Amino acid sequence: MSEGDQRVRRIAIVGKSQQLWPVATLLANSLPEGMRLVLVEDVESVPPAAVTVRLDDPFLLRLGIGAKDFSTTDSAVFALGVTLLDWQGEGSRLHLTGSGSLPAIDDIAIHQILLRAALSYDQAQKLAYLYQPFRFPARAVEAGKFAFQSTDLRSPMSMLRPTVQIDQADFAALLKDRFPTDRAEIVKGKPSAGLAHKGSEFIEQIDLDNGHGIKADFFVDVSGGLDDLADKRRQMDWHPLFEGLPFDRLASARNAEVLPPSEKQEAAQAIDGGLLVQTPLRETSIAQLVYASRELTDDAARSLLGDGAQSTMFKPGYVNAPWHGNVARLGTASVKFGPYLSADITMLLRQTMVLAAHMPTRLDMTVEARDYNRRHLIAVEQV
């Protein structure tokens, strides 16, 4: 059998705990017998963060995780979407909610049909009025209501697409509990050096700061730990988004104040120079602020979040080809969009599903890498 036909047998996943466990758990529950994982877990503390995920996300469905599982965690709160504050001027309030599949006629979306009807009478301004009955999820939020999605397609409740708001550390712990420990070796540490095959772009081994050496056929980097070991081609692959997203700082803080049930909806507030995302949890809340340093100083940002706020550099962007050689980059190693709509965790979950679909890969993984990179760029564009 040629090397091109041989399959990867050992996969190393490298990264911070919060991003490592979603990838490790899905792969461990997807890989065939005989394939082994080695997890290099960076347990260094990170700033507080919250994530909001739809309960019908394909990633959660694949692992069989539902509302009952989240209810056992310390922080999970269920909601119907995100409230947008001050986006249309001070005091404005909008509700961004997901909904189930709306009616279509001959595969034409219902809002397109309604728009055509309104235009035919020169009354385009009536589109919003015509669409009101289909805004049930947003109207439920406006009324301060919550319910889980109904399986009865005749019920308006079937249009609801509930979300779960959870501390990112609790989300990682929930997934870690579902990890089959007999499938992997777990090592605490960070990459410090790499050894490539002679005359090849493939990595043979990475050395850790604790003295361990990790050999594998395939390496998955979920938070940028292998960036310093990458060749110049990969280092130059970053495409910044400063033109469309002019923020360069990210601050976050945890608030010990427990909010009343009526204020458990995540809110994204537009402020001068930035966007403040506040996510209520069960016994606390987490605030994350992306902002432009030329408009808002770090001191001003901390004053909005509280004394314990941590501020770091924020470089929104993405890579074109996250899978290069025998290294695939996921999560913030490949894309950084920030906390709004939990875009970073959304990308990680999508990337993980795509990666799992390409396993087991061959040692000659050119075809798999090409398709993964193509689907990665589609996900980037969508998000």
Q: What would the pLDDT profile of 72-92 be if each residue is shown by its tens digit?
A: 999 999 999 999 999 989 999
Q: Which two three-digit tokens encode residue 367?
A: 């075809």
CATH of domain 3-72+166-242+316-382: 3.50.50.60
**Contact predicate 79/310, CB 8 Å:** no
Flag whether pLDDT at 232 surpasses 60: no
pLDDT tens sequence across 254-294: 986 656 656 788 999 999 999 999 999 998 999 999 999 99
Do 48 and 55 touch, CB atoms closer than 8 A?
A: no
The answer to whether 13 touches 40, Cβ cutoff 8 Å, is: yes
DSSP-derived 3-state class of residue 212? coil
Range with the lowest mean pLDDT among 58-62, 223-227, 242-246?
Answer: 242-246
Residue 64 has pLDDT above 80, yes or no: yes
From residue 135, alpha-carbon distances to 42, 131, 159, 291, 332 in Å are 44, 7, 9, 31, 34
Q: Is the pLDDT of residue 235 over 80?
A: no
Asked if pLDDT for residue 22 goes beyond 70, the answer is: yes
Pairing of strands 238-240, 317-319: antiparallel
pLDDT band at 198 (very low <50, low <70, confident <90, very high): low
Quote the pLDDT of residue 221.
95
Integer-rounded Cα Rg, in Å, for the chain is 23
Q: Average pLDDT, stretch 104-127? A: 83
Query: Phi then psi for 330, rounded to 5 degrees?
Result: -125, 175
**pLDDT grade for 1, boundaries at 50, 70 and 90:** very low
- 349 pLDDT band (50/70/90 cuts)? very high
Q: Quickly tell me which residue has 């997901």 as its tokens.
A: 98
Residue 333 reports pLDDT greater than 80: yes
What pLDDT score does 143 carry? 86
Question: What does pLDDT average to over the chain?
Answer: 87
Q: Which residue has the tokens 């990680």?
A: 348
Residue 199 has pLDDT above 60, yes or no: no
pTM: 0.88
Asked if 248 contacts 313 with a C-beta cutoff of 8 angstroms, the reply is: yes
pLDDT band at 156 (very low <50, low <70, confident <90, very high): confident
**Average pLDDT for 212-226:** 90
DSSP 102: P
Q: What average pLDDT does range 1-27 have in this prediction?
A: 85
Please compute the mean of the pLDDT values over residues 113-136 and round it to a whole number.
81
Domain borders along the chain are: 3-72+166-242+316-382, 99-160
Q: Rounded mean pLDDT of 204-228? A: 87
Q: What pLDDT shows up at residue 162? A: 94
